């Protein structure tokens, strides 16, 4: 009975360690699940010529699309700044201009990454992680052909940014 009484009196105490143990156990699990793509990287150490051509074509298509988007957004930004109206119109125009500027910045960043990837194709270093020198893996490159890092190295960078990036 003492054990039961102790358990009922301290019912909250044992629950807390179990909860924190459960939380601690849950923390390592996501990296284990994410480790599966790492094996995909090592499964395809070298891209086949067909895969390389496919990725190059995807990069060139995305580049053309981005150049067109950048041009459209620049024209839209100029058109918005020419309109004159009351304070609400000006506030709306300012918000639209801000959004357009952010989208332009993003597109220019991605365009630079695509240009970098295309240059790496020309020099023969495309598909290699810039952090580890290991192959990035076709699946990752298929999703993001301008990727510079393997999944594992990108996760490491993001982890370091979360924990020590504020310093």
The model's pLDDT over 34-84, given as tens digits with 9 standing for 90+, comes to 333 444 444 445 899 999 999 999 999 999 999 999 998 887 766 655 555
Whether the pTM exceeds 0.85: the reply is: no
Determine the pLDDT at residue 11: 45
Distance CA 123, CA 137 (A): 18
Determine the pLDDT at residue 38: 41
Check pLDDT > 80 for residue 161.
Answer: yes
HEC per residue, the chain: CHHHHHHHHCCHHHHHHHHHHHHHHHCCHHHHHHHHHHHHHHHCCCCCHHHHHHHHHHHHHHHHHHHHHHHHHHHHHHHHHHCCCCHHHHHHHHHHHHHHHHHHHHHHHHHHHHHHHHHHHHHCCCCECCCCCCECCHHHHHHCCCCCCCHHHHHHHHHHHHHHCCC
pLDDT digits (tens, 9 = 90+) for 1-42: 444 444 444 444 444 444 444 434 443 333 333 333 444 444
Check pLDDT > 60 for residue 124.
Answer: yes
* Mean pLDDT, residues 138-154: 95
Check pLDDT > 70 for residue 112.
Answer: yes
């Amino acid at each position: 009975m003492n054990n039961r009484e102790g358990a009922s009196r301290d019912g909250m105490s044992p629950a807390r360690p179990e909860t924190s143990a459960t939380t601690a156990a849950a923390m390592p699990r996501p990296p284990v699940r994410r480790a599966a793509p790492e094996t995909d990287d090592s499964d395809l150490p070298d891209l086949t010529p067909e895969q390389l051509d496919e990725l190059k074509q995807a990069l060139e298509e995305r580049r053309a699309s981005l150049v067109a988007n950048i041009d459209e957004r620049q024209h839209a930004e100029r058109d918005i700044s020419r309109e004159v109206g009351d304070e609400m119109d000006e506030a709306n125009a300012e918000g639209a201009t801000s959004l357009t500027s952010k989208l332009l910045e993003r597109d220019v960043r991605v365009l630079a990454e695509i240009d970098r990837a295309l240059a790496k194709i020309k020099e023969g270093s495309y598909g290699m992680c810039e952090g580890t020198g290991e192959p990035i893996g076709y699946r990752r490159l298929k999703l993001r052909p301008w990727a510079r890092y393997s999944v594992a190295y990108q996760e490491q960078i993001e982890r370091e940014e979360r924990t020590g990036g504020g310093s």
